[in-house]
Amino acid sequence: MTGGEALIADLLISGPDVLRFEDEYDLLRRIGGGSGALSPYDWEGMYVAMIQRIHEHGC
């Protein structure tokens, strides 16, 4: 089994890039988070997708 190293910088997406991506793909869906304050993003869903992609395809 082989693996690759992922650095924090490899996972970082800037705020302006996120906003541009949301505008380009018309992603205005906002999801509330738990019992705390409402979150404008589905962080849990993003982490699941990221972990699944890394598991299936590597870095």
Residue in 32, 41, 37 with CA at minimum distance from that of residue 13: 41
In order along its 59 residues, the chain shows pLDDT tens digits of: 577 888 887 788 888 888 888 788 777 655 555 566 667 778 888 888 888 888 888 76
Q: What is the pLDDT of residue 54?
A: 83
Q: What is the pLDDT of residue 43?
A: 81
Q: What is the pLDDT of residue 20?
A: 84
- pTM exceeding 0.75: no
Q: From the CA atom positions of the chain, what is the Rg in Å?
A: 14
34 CB contacts (<8 Å, ≥6 apart)? none
Q: What is the pLDDT of residue 1?
A: 52
Instruction: Copy the structure tokens of residue 57.
Output: 């395809």
Alpha helices in 1-59 (DSSP H): 8-11, 15-24, 43-57
Half-sphere exposure in the Cβ direction for 12 (13 Å, CA): 4
Q: What is the pLDDT of residue 35?
A: 61
